[in-house]
A and B are shown apart, each in its own frame.
Chain A
Amino acid sequence: MSALGRVVRAGVGRRRVQTVVMVLTTLMAVTASVLAAGLLVAARAPFDRAFAARHGAHLTGRFDAAKVTAAQLTATADAPGVTASAGPFLTLSVRPRTASRSDFVPAGVDLPPLTVVGRSEPGGPVDEIDLVEGVWPTEPGQIVLADGAAPLQPGTRFTLPDAPGSPTLTVVGIARSVTGTADAWVTPAQAEALAEALTEPTTDETSSTAPSYTSSSSPAPSYTYSMSYRFRQAATDAHITLDRAAIAAAVPRGALTGARSYLTVKQEETANAMAFVPFLAAFGVLGLCLSVLVIGIVVGGAVGSATRRIGILKSLGFTPAQVVRAYVGQALVPAAVGCVLGVVLGNVLAVPVLAEVGEAFGASAGALPVWVSAAVPLAALALVAAAALVPALRAGRLRTVEAIAVGSVPRTAAGPGTGRGRPVRRALRRLPLPRVVALGLAHPLARPARAATLAGAVGFGAVSVTFAVGLALTLGAVQEGRMLDAAAPVVVETGGGQGPPGAEVVPAEGPDGGGGDRAKADPEAVSALLRAREGTGRFYGTTQAQVAASGITGTTTVVAYEGDSAWGAPELVSGDWLDGRPGEAVVTSRFLKAAGIRVGETVTLTEEGRRATVRIVGEAFFTEGQGMLLLTSTATLTELGLGADARPARFHVQTEPGTDPARYLDSVNREFDAAGLGAFARTGTDGSSSVIVAMDALIGMLTLMLVVVAGLGVLNTVVLDTRDRVHDLGVFKTLGMTPRQTVTMVLTSVAGIGLLAGLAAVPAGIALHRAVTPLMGDAIGMTLPATDLAVHDGPVLALLALGGLVIAVAGALLPAGWAARTGTATALRTE
């Protein structure tokens, strides 16, 4: 090994604490940065690959079959900007019920509605369907399900009880559309037959080439058309808006009832992974800043405390450049170890997140791009080298004769920094405080540069804590508010209502094991019983229905409220909550964006030919049903002619204060049984999101690492300071300073700085939180409510204000103990 290598190795080995600090700080910074940069790139990759391979549709349009003909739609292929198109496809919504068992789903189970498209083949110029399993339907009675649309295996049969004669379809395959254009596909002939079966034909409609139908109350047919398009320019939302306008202009006014952008699909599919990116990027930047600071402190301290060593090296023939390289090398070696570990940890932590994204497109879990794993550590090492270079250059410039003289003669009368800030230090010493406290508080003024670096380390730690606490509280609020009706501790099921979106409603087992129609408890009777029941505070009812909504492709789940539901309403971003009147609705920002509307505008709901127009009165935040639920009053469903389905299927109850929930449930269920109502009460579910739990865990880990690094930065600074002051400490001890007083003095020497740095860091941490959390909301296509962002309230702020003090004191504890234990005689000999 070269002389330089030996010097570097000796320096690294000699300074174990500093080496560990440098490894940890780069580990943390590189882990967060690799994760952030990697997820930003890799999370979108499976979608982009699948989209390119399958010629995904930039826009999928849904058209009102009463207003446009198939020929007119075919002509939209020539609309401005369109480069390819597929369709028109006859599209309809069906409500299946299983007719044979499939895995855990028995026969007789009502499934959520399916959007079925008539399509002759999976291939084509746009939206090529990927057949995952089985075969493509070639004859009537066959259907291919979209992967994940229903829990049924090929070979399963289901009926359509809403259609006359309950036609039966057999699942022959499972397929996947990259932009999710349908839940199932049948042959065009089968689609036409189903459309015919679902509604009565009329004779007055002549505009469509396909069968035309209308209900007795509305001329709307039971089916729509869908078209898939690719455009010349479709990279941004603005492009897609223009493209959509071009299509809308190419068909009769109002014919385009809904459209789905591939950017929306992409955002939905990658939302969970992309939501990690903003806060990981923030932690990465914090980590890199702290790395630069800590490494500057460490190398600066190494140079400052090894002046004599540098002199000896130079006297032995080391050139200034070699000295510079030696000190930069002492920082780069541990930093490189931290980088390698950080890259490994970042890649490992990315696996579960990327697996979820890959699964959505049937791809493998994937991995972070190699170039990210190479570029991030290289950038970190460059920063480290730059941070180390400044003090290393100082070492290189030291004059040999002066450097080698350090330590071989007694200290000069004026030690380092002894003349600085004297008036303030004297004023501090005059404070009515114990002498050791006053000495400690005054000490940082003697070494302002060192005090500044210590304040920087504490500040970054405190910013991280403030930021992380804010994130955790916001995520907690999101976790609490993401599911609808989470405020109700008790839920009463009437037994016959529709389940939540995607859930199977399993009827009671009949003698044949296949189940039968389920009796629905009378909501009025349930409501009356709850009202009379002791311990009931307040309650409201809800029910759900799947209807078509203008501007939205596929069916939309409507959650309808009855009664005073304001106390259980989701957090509002803007506007108002429902006031119980028909014609009002509340949706999320994701819904608004998908429908291309704003609060105050209207959405037309359609159910089997009936229409109801609702005005969006408020924008709420919730993620249940992918945030695509439309919340309205039961009166709206009545207007849609849903009859009994418009009555509450579920009651959300808040018990009176002091009521034991378990006892309340028992007694209510007993009363339901006694009254023969067939309803049952259960506790409300919190529906914890595993993504939020994973985020919390990651935030906790990164914050802990940052705080540890900040604390170690403090430790390193105090160690350097203690070494510089060891002689003074010896003098103090000679004069009778006890170990406890020594510890107190050392701790108070950092406490003042820690407190001030912490106080300054709190607003910075809050500002960072306010900047990053909306970006996380944007990543999932949601606007977070202001109440979820304003989480740093009084008690939290008071605790956070002490964060800097805690970090500083915790970091100084060890060296304070060392200072207290240093032998007085040894200290006095140390010059």
Chain B
Amino acid sequence: MATTTPTDPTPAVPPTTPIIDIHEVSRAYGGEGPPALDGVSLRVRAGEAVSVIGPSGSGKSTLLNLIAGLDRPTSGGVTVDGVRVDTLSEAGSARYRRAKVGMVFQFFNLLDDLTVADNVLLPAQLAGMAKAEARRRAASLLEYLGIDRHSAAYPGRLSGGERQRVAVARALMNRPPLLLADEPTGALDTASGEDVRELLTELNADGQTIVLVTHDLGLAESCAQRTVELVDGRIVRDVVRAAAPRATAVRR
């Protein structure tokens, strides 16, 4: 059982300065409907774990996409770790995601024709990391997450929880200062969901900044010190709890 994390989060900004600075961001998708996001402003400090909750269509995933540089706001600005994300080119966005962001999805988004190890190695290879270093890093992550015995397997042979651990390993491969998780337990059974919850808590306890989008209020409360609620594209609640929960260890 691993007791220390190999994630080595090394935020580029002091813990008290915001790693995410969202300023008056709106995102409209055309047509006459209401915007997905409407004048949202949000600051997240390094090392913080923030859960974003809200009903379907409230703008949670849009917010996450804007932070990840997958989408661009109609107005306003998004700055992550000192990078003005909303002004980046396509190639710039790609380089930004390699360096600054790791993402975990509800349906894992693993590449089914790559082995677990190859999936995890991929971000490092795209970023041009030295092969030996990438292999060491991947092996370390897989061991840390308790899935090293599956490294040669294909994702289709793993359980949902195991797949999500692979996705987390892949997301952490390039030591991103920010981990974005979009409904990470949404496709998992209760036991696997609990497993992932503990994993995220542990990561945050080790200093990893996490933004978590979820419908699951329990997950939101157990993983994050802060909860932001979106309704119709606006922040209606932003609650910070006094102390963050701590996990005792990473489960296999």
Listed in ascending order, the chain A residues whose CB lies under 8 Å from chain B are 410-415, 417-419, 422, 425-426, 429, 435-436, 446, 727-728, 730-741, 820-821, 823-825, 828
Say which residue of B68, B95, B112, B118 sits within 8 Å of A413 (CB atoms): B112
CB atoms of A821 and B90 under 8 A apart: yes
CB atoms of B90 and A731 under 8 A apart: no
Give A731 to B113 CA distance when docked, in angstroms. 13
Give A788 to B204 CA distance when docked, in angstroms. 77
A827 to chain B, nearest CB (A): 9
B73 contacts partner chain A, Cβ-Cβ < 8 Å:
no
Closest B residue to A827 by CB, please name it.
B70
Q: A410-B107, A734-B103 are in contact. Are A825 and B113 (CB under 8 A)?
A: no
Residues of B within 8 A of A734 (CB): 68, 70, 97, 103, 109
Q: A735-B123, A741-B126, A825-B70 are in contact. Are A414 and B112 (CB under 8 A)?
A: yes
A-B contacts, 18 listed (Cβ < 8 Å): A413-B112, A413-B155, A414-B112, A418-B112, A418-B156, A419-B154, A422-B154, A435-B126, A732-B122, A735-B170, A736-B99, A737-B126, A739-B90, A740-B91, A741-B94, A741-B126, A820-B90, A821-B90
Give A734 to B181 CA distance when docked, in angstroms. 12
Give A739 to B109 CA distance when docked, in angstroms. 19
Listed in ascending order, the chain B residues whose CB lies under 8 Å from chain A are 65, 68, 70-71, 90-91, 94-95, 97-99, 103, 105, 107, 109-113, 115, 118, 122-123, 125-127, 154-156, 163, 170, 174, 187
B48 to chain A, nearest CB (A): 22
A433 to chain B, nearest CB (A): 11
B162 to chain A, nearest CB (A): 11
Closest B residue to A727 by CB, please name it.
B109
Give A741 to B112 CA distance when docked, in angstroms. 20
CB atoms of B113 and A739 under 8 A apart: no
A307 to chain B, nearest CB (A): 19
Q: A736-B94, A736-B98 are in contact. Are A413 and B123 (CB under 8 A)?
A: no
Contacts A731-B109, A734-B68, A736-B174 given; 14 further ones with Cβ under 8 A?
Answer: A410-B107, A414-B112, A418-B113, A418-B154, A731-B110, A733-B94, A735-B123, A736-B99, A736-B126, A737-B94, A738-B90, A820-B90, A824-B70, A828-B105
Most interface-central of A417, A422, A731, A735 (chain B CB within 10 A): A735
Give A696 to B127 CA distance when docked, in angstroms. 51
Give A825 to B123 CA distance when docked, in angstroms. 18
Most interface-central of B90, B94, B122, B170 (chain A CB within 10 A): B94
Residues of B within 8 A of A415 (CB): 112-113
Residues of A within 8 A of B118 (CB): 429
Closest A residue to B89 by CB, please name it.
A739
Most interface-central of A412, A727, A734, A741 (chain B CB within 10 A): A734
Q: A413-B156, A418-B113, A823-B71 are in contact. Are A736 and B65 (CB under 8 A)?
A: no
Give A134 to B251 CA distance when docked, in angstroms. 112
Say which residue of A413, A727, A735 sits within 8 Å of B97 (CB atoms): A735
CB atoms of A735 and B112 under 8 A apart: no
Residues of A within 8 A of B156 (CB): 412-414, 418
Residues of B within 8 A of A414 (CB): 112, 156
Give A820 to B90 CA distance when docked, in angstroms. 9
Per CB-CB distance, the 3 closest pairs between chain A and chain B, nearest first, are A736-B98, A413-B156, A435-B125
Residues of A within 8 A of B111 (CB): 728, 731-732
CB atoms of B122 and A735 under 8 A apart: yes
Say which residue of A410, A419, A738 sits within 8 Å of B187 (CB atoms): A410
Residues of A within 8 A of B71 (CB): 823, 825
B179 to chain A, nearest CB (A): 13
A685 to chain B, nearest CB (A): 59
Closest A residue to B100 by CB, please name it.
A736
Residues of A within 8 A of B98 (CB): 735-736
Residues of A within 8 A of B170 (CB): 735
CB atoms of B122 and A435 under 8 A apart: yes
Residues of B within 8 A of A418 (CB): 112-113, 154, 156
CB atoms of B113 and A425 under 8 A apart: yes
Give A821 to B91 CA distance when docked, in angstroms. 10
CB atoms of B112 and A739 under 8 A apart: no
Give A727 to B105 CA distance when docked, in angstroms. 12
Give A436 to B126 CA distance when docked, in angstroms. 8
Residues of A within 8 A of B115 (CB): 426
Residues of B within 8 A of A446 (CB): 113
Give A88 to B99 CA distance when docked, in angstroms. 101
Give A739 to B92 CA distance when docked, in angstroms. 10
Give A734 to B68 CA distance when docked, in angstroms. 8
Residues of A within 8 A of B95 (CB): 736, 738
Residues of A within 8 A of B154 (CB): 418-419, 422
Residues of B within 8 A of A732 (CB): 111, 122, 126
Residues of A within 8 A of B187 (CB): 410
Give A596 to B118 CA distance when docked, in angstroms. 76
B206 to chain A, nearest CB (A): 22
Residues of A within 8 A of B99 (CB): 736
B70 to chain A, nearest CB (A): 4
B136 to chain A, nearest CB (A): 17
B115 to chain A, nearest CB (A): 7
Give A739 to B122 CA distance when docked, in angstroms. 16
Give A824 to B95 CA distance when docked, in angstroms. 14
A451 to chain B, nearest CB (A): 14
Give A413 to B114 CA distance when docked, in angstroms. 12
Give A821 to B97 CA distance when docked, in angstroms. 16
Closest B residue to A820 by CB, please name it.
B90
Give A32 to B170 CA distance when docked, in angstroms. 55
CB atoms of B126 and A739 under 8 A apart: no
Closest A residue to B173 by CB, please name it.
A735
Give A650 to B110 CA distance when docked, in angstroms. 82
Give A732 to B126 CA distance when docked, in angstroms. 9
A134 to chain B, nearest CB (A): 81
Give A426 to B119 CA distance when docked, in angstroms. 12
